[in-house]
Structure 1
Amino acid sequence: MTVKILPVEEKQIIDSYWFYSDFYSIISRVDSKKLWFMNNYINLFDIPDPNQLYTFFFNGYYRDKMVEFYDCPFIDFQRIALDRQSSTILNNDLFDFIKASIDGGYYVIVMIDRFHIKEYEISARSPHEVMINGYDDANKKLYFCDNNANGKYSTNITCDYEAFHRAFHILEIDAHDFKDHLYLLKPLENTDYTFSLTYVKNTMNAYLLSKAHTDEHYNQALGTPGLTFGINVYDKASEYLKYLAQEEVVFDIRSFHLLYDHKKCMTMRLNYMINNHHLIDDNQILSRWRKLEATAQAVRNSILKYWLTRSSDTLYKQMEQLQKLKETEKILLQEIVDQLKDG
């Protein structure tokens, strides 16, 4: 076969980080009811870093940020060792392995240095993961998904084999799982997976309690000192903005975009629970939550505006908005939890 392109979903639910976008690009084909999203993307956690804010969704035991790839029942996931020096994978040529994987229905996630690919228009080293979803052997071209030159997630990036080989082979990074491995992901049909109201309610409670889980044995077994969970990530976000106003940390909008994604996911979930009679919207819960979503979006946009104006006043105002958002969300989410029945 000279050309093979696996389908990807262009419109993302979550696009704050590439691995959420890659993930949904794949499972949207086999999880049309979005049940995985309804059950997950409720709790949050923050990884401490002296220079940046790193806030992510918490969907299970912390292996790395891409825990969904390991645990999702709609994904056949494989972690494969590679040799960058010889450009081989399991003793196969790089491109032979990629093409065979694509032919078998597997998407390939691998780290490259995007500096070597002209489509990115990058002038410095840029190690990053990309998800390969197709090839054109006649024109020696690969198709993949990643954040493009404008920082937006794109599902139609291409480059020639020669440039990709350089980007793969010449990768200057410290020890990293993606330096020595790549991931294979294949969507799986799963008719047994269902929405779990009990799990959703417990996870909402954990979020409100700023814990990984409502089960203390689980929390003790987790072994993740230093992480901040749940609604207390707002405090970490405010602290980050204070340091940013003092120019003591690096500007990074992604965690604020994730807070907005978090509200979008909850809007979808509330709508699902109301439509499926798990939740009665007798106090305009959905419309009130949509206001929270709009506020989170406004906070993100204002922080983006700071990058243009460099006005510290903008950041201090958003610190106040974050605290108001936290308190309003806490009251509303507790109201939702109190109404939900175990089921």
Structure 2
Amino acid sequence: MSVKLPVSYPLITSYPSLADFLSIAASHPDYEAWLNSNMIQLFCVKKFGKGCELKFYFPYLFNQCALMNGAALPRHTMALLEPDPVEMFIKCIDGGNYVIISADSYHISAYKPYYQKQIRPHFMMVFGYDRENGTFDIADFFVGRYEYTTTTFEELRAAYEAIPWDTDRVQVKLLKLEPRVRYEFDKQHVYDLLSEYFHGFNTSRRYGSNYNPSQHLVYGMDIYPKLQEFIPLVGEGICIPDRRPFHVIYDHKRGMKQRIEYMVEHGHIPSSCLPLSQQYADMTDKCQMMRNLILKYEVVRQPDMLLRISDYVKQLEQEEREVLKELLSALNPASHDTASV
């Protein structure tokens, strides 16, 4: 017997948790409306570690999204229900649940850089199985990019059991699509999020009833000055040449291009806004060039590459600010005073 829950390669692949979520959500009938209504705000840490943490801002993604139900259960609770992890994963999948676990890459051959070489706890998604072949379908960044592949029952059991029970990685996350729950495109929500992005508003203040607003992050357009701070630190050897923030903003600009096209197609903004999509396509190309440059810099360490990245960041900030003024005006027909945005 075999079962494979549906997945689709996601638009955003900056980080595995978000890539997993979007892989699943893509099968929901209202996914397109939901995606284009969300995934707009970005944040960046004020104080850098070795790298630069820059991500999409979407708190409670796994347990407060309309498209699916999510639950996180302690491993010891799951073990009480089913001691054998292989059978536990199979039962979860039979119930329509995608399973996200922490597993040690040392034991899974798909992680070629780590297999039998390095202990590395890492979250991965399990979304199918084949009893006859003794394999699970899994998803993660196995060799540098997000992908789907298989692993054996024995490998996954060993990788799961290798994670100590006294760490913060002891939960099993279960996600299940809710196709009967409907989600309509929310134009007002898009306007609100884009306004917050434009002004660098602390979006965590929206969730003040759940936790105190963050004080250690910057939001929206304020990520650009932070990137300009980060780049010289890479040149000085204080920070590593972190490719992740450049991949995030690449995904963001690509998503903005798609969002504008969606809104024009569905009549949420006038067709005269379609050229804004091309401007975001041009910004996407710049982001890709930045990402390629930081990858090259990891190898050759030529200072002029960092200067070129810094120039691209400056251009992006200027170009996006002008495009957003037009887009916000189009989304808010009650006020055509672009100076107010």
* TM alignment of 1:22-61, pairs within 5 A: 22-31=20-29, 34-47=32-45, 48-59=47-58
C-alpha distance after superposition, 1:172-203 (max 9, x if no partner): 69842xx2211001111145311111111011
**Is residue 298 from structure 1 mapped to residue 296 from structure 2 by the alignment?**
no
How much has 1:333 moved relative to structure 2?
A: 0.5
**Is residue 164 from structure 1 mapped to residue 156 from structure 2 by the alignment?**
yes
Q: Could you tell me whether the CA contact under 8 Å between 1:119 and 1:159 is conserved in 2?
A: yes
How much has 1:238 moved relative to structure 2?
A: 2.0
Map of 1:75 onto structure 2: 68
Question: 2:210, 2:321 → 1: CA distance?
Answer: 25
| SS of the residue 1:34 aligns to | helix
Q: Could you tell me whether the CA contact under 8 Å between 2:241 and 2:297 is conserved in 1?
A: no
**Is residue 118 from structure 1 mapped to residue 116 from structure 2 by the alignment?**
no
Map of 1:4 onto structure 2: 3
**Is residue 235 from structure 1 mapped to residue 225 from structure 2 by the alignment?**
yes
Question: 1:237, 1:28 → 2: CA distance?
Answer: 31
TM-score normalised according to structure 1 size: 0.88
Q: Could you tell me whether the CA contact under 8 Å between 2:41 and 2:197 is conserved in 1?
A: yes
User: RMSD of the TM alignment (CA)?
Assistant: 2.5
| SS of the residue 1:257 aligns to | helix
Structure 1's 105 and 148: CA in aligned 2 closer, same or farther, altered over 3 A? same
Task: Give the letter for the 1:29 counterpart.
Answer: S
Alignment: residue pair count: 329
**Is residue 153 from structure 1 mapped to residue 125 from structure 2 by the alignment?**
no
Task: Give the letter for the 2:305 counterpart.
Answer: T
Question: 1:215, 1:267 → 2: CA distance?
Answer: 27
Question: 1:219, 1:317 → 2: CA distance?
Answer: 43
C-alpha distance after superposition, 1:267-301 (max 9, x if no partner): 11100111122222436222222212221222212
How much has 1:72 moved relative to structure 2?
A: 1.2
Task: Give the letter for the 1:68 counterpart.
Answer: L
- Which of the residues 316, 321, 329 maps onto 2:312? 321
Q: Which range moves more in the overlay, 277-286 or 73-82?
A: 277-286
Task: Give the letter for the 1:164 counterpart.
Answer: L
| SS of the residue 1:159 aligns to | strand
Q: Could you tell me whether the CA contact under 8 Å between 1:89 and 1:97 is conserved in 2?
A: no
Q: Which range moves more in the overlay, 135-144 or 166-175?
A: 166-175
Task: Give the letter for the 2:308 counterpart.
Answer: K
Question: 1:266, 1:29 → 2: CA distance?
Answer: 21
Which structure 2 segments of 5+ residues have no match?
335-341
* TM alignment of 1:1-343, pairs within 5 A: 2-9=1-8, 11-31=9-29, 34-47=32-45, 48-59=47-58, 62=59, 67-83=60-76, 88=79, 90=81, 92-121=83-112, 122=114, 123-149=117-143, 151-156=144-149, 158-171=150-163, 175-176=167-168, 179-190=169-180, 192-213=182-203, 222-282=212-272, 284-341=275-332
Structure 1's 227 and 128: CA in aligned 2 closer, same or farther, altered over 3 A? same
| SS of the residue 1:101 aligns to | helix
C-alpha distance after superposition, 1:121-153 (max 9, x if no partner): 21212211110011222333222111122x111
Q: Could you tell me whether the CA contact under 8 Å between 2:100 and 2:124 is conserved in 1?
A: yes
Q: Could you tell me whether the CA contact under 8 Å between 1:31 and 1:74 is conserved in 2?
A: no
Q: Could you tell me whether the CA contact under 8 Å between 1:115 and 1:126 is conserved in 2?
A: yes
How much has 1:218 moved relative to structure 2?
A: 5.2
Question: 2:61, 2:51 → 1: CA distance?
Answer: 23
| SS of the residue 1:70 aligns to | coil
Which structure 1 segments of 5+ residues have no match?
none
Structure 1's 341 and 214: CA in aligned 2 closer, same or farther, altered over 3 A? farther
Structure 1's 15 and 89: CA in aligned 2 closer, same or farther, altered over 3 A? farther
C-alpha distance after superposition, 1:221-250 (max 9, x if no partner): 642111111111112222221111111112
Question: 2:310, 2:174 → 1: CA distance?
Answer: 41
Question: 1:168, 1:89 → 2: CA distance?
Answer: 16
